[in-house]
Every structure is written in structure tokens, then in C-alpha cells.
Amino acid sequence: MNFKYEHYHLRCICNEIFEDANYVGELTWEATTQPINSGSAKFGLQQKVEPIMFFAKNKNNQKGFLLKELDSGLNYPHQGKLGKCRFEIIEKSDAGGYERKTMKFSILGQYPRDGKRWQIGQDTASELEKENRLEIVDGFVKKAIYPEDEIDKRKFVPFWSHLNAAQFGTAQSGKDLLNEIMGKAVGFDTVKPAILIEKLLSYFDKNSIILDSFAGSGTTAHAVLNLNKQDQGNRKFILIEMEDYAETITAERVKRVINGYGPPTPKGGEKTIEGTGGSFDYYTLGEPLFDEHNNLNETVGIEKIREYVWFAETRIPTPALPEGEGARTGKVYLGTHNDTAYYFIYEKDSLTTLDYESLADYVQQKAERYIIYADNCLLPETFMRAKNIEFKKIPRDITRF
């Protein structure tokens, strides 16, 4: 990235998308350790690091990153009502001080033993009981202490803002790994190493959905698959790539990472690098639904148009038609969702009209409400209001995404 131009413009774009108030911070990644020793560039300022910007969807709701915990000597060997915990006895001795009768009351049906009193007052005890944090263990009333209660005592590996090449690789090491996976040089000059992306993703939930709008060589998918194998996570990835290598490099790399790559080992015949397991689907963009005149593009096919209209209305996949439904009705009936029946009256070579005749022919499903698409409508508004029918004009009223 060119710091002078690209860095500035990237920040502007991110501010526009996420808002400046949701800016979390910036990391630096040591992308190269090799200087340029040729041409005029060797006399200029050489860029060693690449920036990585962090934005939150809503910074006010951000709870922090998931950090790796260091051994702090705190153990939670027991199973309490709320999860793993350790128990603390809440009695203390009366010895050495005056007797406090207010600290001798019933908790969970038990009183302190002779010469003892509770360490907590009655209000605190009542609150802890409501929270299921008091239990009888081995005949004693004890307080359950959970990991989240001792966050200040626990120690974590910090999320440092600089990622060095020795630990997280360089653009060159990312390129070398890609070529190794593909079995040849594939023409990518700078590739982010998978270990770098793994590091970044490890700070977030194991069930995250990761979107990479500029998938390139597929490093993000590689990192997700590696992490899921390491920690049994359920992360999912969505890769978007518009260049012509999407299938031959991006998808092919993901396939090889899943199945394993490298030459077979001499003995077992297995791949040198074991596969991560997992799966993915590969999709390509179809024809646009609307043509340059904003009319329906009929080369897409009527079924695809129907599926689009159904999804635009309901945001769910197209359902199967009811068994035994007539062919004519099947052409226009899209389905019923939330007590609303959807109809799409469309003919490729002629205009369609919603009138009493077409209503009687097509609308045979009982529903609380009806949404009917057609080219024209001749039904009176008073009739449609009485029957809870909403007319939508083709193509004007079809939702555009």
C-alpha cells in the first residue's frame, strides 16, 4: 500500500462505511524485510510495514478482543450452577472480636457453626441466592466464583499493535506458500501469509462469518480452515473475487487446502500437507435481472425471475409448490409466507392484466393477504381493499438490490 495515497483514501472509505466514531485502531504488519537495492528506489524512503485498520460495527457495543489467557494460578475445578467455578467458604471466626449477631442468619436453610459467623450480610446473601451463586458443598454454604468474576486477577497475552515478520510472515513468505500449494508459480507478487490472517481472526468468536470482498489468492479461506481445524471452531467464510483467476487459483487453493496438497509421501501415498477438512460452494454471477431499459431480462428465465421476486418479498428461499397444484396456477403462484400469498402473473410475449377473470383462474390459495404482480390492473380499489389484495406492477414494483 502506498502510504501517501492509498492509506489516506482507505481510511476515508472506511469512515464512510463504518463511521469515524467506530474506528478502533490500526496495526502495522512487517510486510517485508528485504530492501530494494536497484534503481532510484534504493535512495528513497522504503516502506517496511503495511497498515491494518480496525473498525467496529458499533464501537459502543464492542466488548473487547478474545485474548489468549496466561496461567495465573486460578483454577476452576468444580461445576457450579452457572458453569465451571471454584468455591469459597463464607464463614469466618468470631475469635478476636466481638460477636456480631446480625451476621448469624439462615442461608439456604443453614446457620453458621458455633463460634462462626457469615462474612457477608443478609442483603448480599439474598442477592447471591437470587443469582444462584450460593450452594451447599460438602455440608457447607459456599460462594461460587466464576472466571468472569476475577477478570482483574487473570492474565492475558496482549493484542500488540505491531505484527513482526518473524512471527507472522511477510508478503514473500505468503507468495512462497501459495506457489507451494499450487505446485507452480502463479503470478502473484504479494500475498498475505495465512498465519497473519489466522492471528487477526483468533481475536474473534469461533462462530464468526468472515467476508473478504477482494479474495485474491484465497488466503482468508485458508486461514479460516486452519483455525477451525486447530480449535474445532465453526467459522464460515464468504469470498468475492471478480478477476478471471477466481476458479483456477482462488477456489483451487481452497480445494487443495481442504483436501491436502504436496506430493504423496513415499509410504502411505498421502499428501505431504494434511488437509484441513471442511467444504465450500462455488458460485458465479448470472445475467442481470433487468436490462438496460429497466425491463425484465427474459434471457434469465422465468423460474429465476420468480425466485428473485419471492426472495425480494420474503427473504427466504423458494418453497416447493403444493402437491397436486395445477400447472396453470403453478406458473403464477410463488408461495405463502406469514399468511400472505404471492402471485406473479407474467407472460414472456404479452402483457398480463389482473382482473376478475385472472383472479378467478389463478388465485386459489386461501390466505389473509394477497400480493399479486402483473403488468396492469383493472380491479377496483374498493374491491382490492375489501379482499386484502395488493397489486404490484411489473417491472416497476420489483425490488432492486
In terms of pLDDT, which residue wins out, 269 or 51?
A: 51
pLDDT, tens digit (0-9, with 9 covering 90-100), for 182-233: 999 999 988 999 999 999 999 999 999 999 999 999 999 999 999 999 999 9
The percentage of the chain sitting over the pLDDT mark of 90, rounded to a whole number, equals 71
What number of residues does the chain have?
Answer: 401
What is the predicted pLDDT for the residue at 386? 97
The Cα angle at residue 388 between residues 387 and 389, in degrees rounded to 5:
95
Which residues partner with 85 through β-bridges? 78
Specify the pLDDT at position 79: 95
Residue 329 pLDDT > 50: no
Collapse the DSSP code of 137 into the 3-class scheme (helix H, G, I; strand E, B; otherwise coil) and give the result. strand
pLDDT over 60 (residue 27): yes
**What pLDDT score was predicted for residue 310?**
96
Contact between residue 121 and residue 103 where contact means Cβ atoms under 8 Å apart:
yes
Find out whether 235 and 212 touch, Cβ atoms under 8 Å: no
Q: What is the pLDDT of residues 330-350, one digit of tens each?
A: 589 999 999 999 999 999 889
**φ, ψ dihedrals at 99, nearest 5°:** -75, 130
Residue 215: Cβ-neighbour burial (10 angstroms; 0-12, 13-18, 19+): buried
Flag whether pLDDT at 326 surpasses 50: no
Helices (H) and strands (E) in the chain, counts: 11, 19
For residue 9 the three cell numbers come to: 483514501
Enumerate long-range contacts of 158-166, CB under 8 Å, 24 or more apart: 158/67, 159/65, 159/67, 159/203, 161/25, 161/26, 161/27, 161/28, 162/27, 162/28, 162/30, 162/49, 163/27, 163/28, 163/29, 163/30, 163/52, 163/196, 163/199, 164/30, 165/30, 165/31, 165/32, 165/33
**d(C-alpha 336, C-alpha 342), whole Å:** 6
Tell which residue, 205, 131, 223, has the closest CA to residue 168.
223
Neighbours of 196 (CB within 10 A): 26
329 with 342: CB under 8 angstroms? no
Q: What is the pLDDT of residue 327?
A: 43
pLDDT category of residue 173 using cuts at 50, 70 and 90: very high
The per-residue pLDDT for 37 is 87
CB 218, CB 239: distance < 8 Å: yes
Within 10 A of 102 (CB to CB), how many other CB atoms are there?
Answer: 9
pLDDT over 60 at 325, yes or no: no
List, for residues 93-148, the tens digit of each pLDDT value.
Answer: 887 555 677 899 999 999 999 889 999 999 999 999 999 999 999 999 999 999 88
pLDDT of residue 257: 97
Rg (CA), the chain: 32
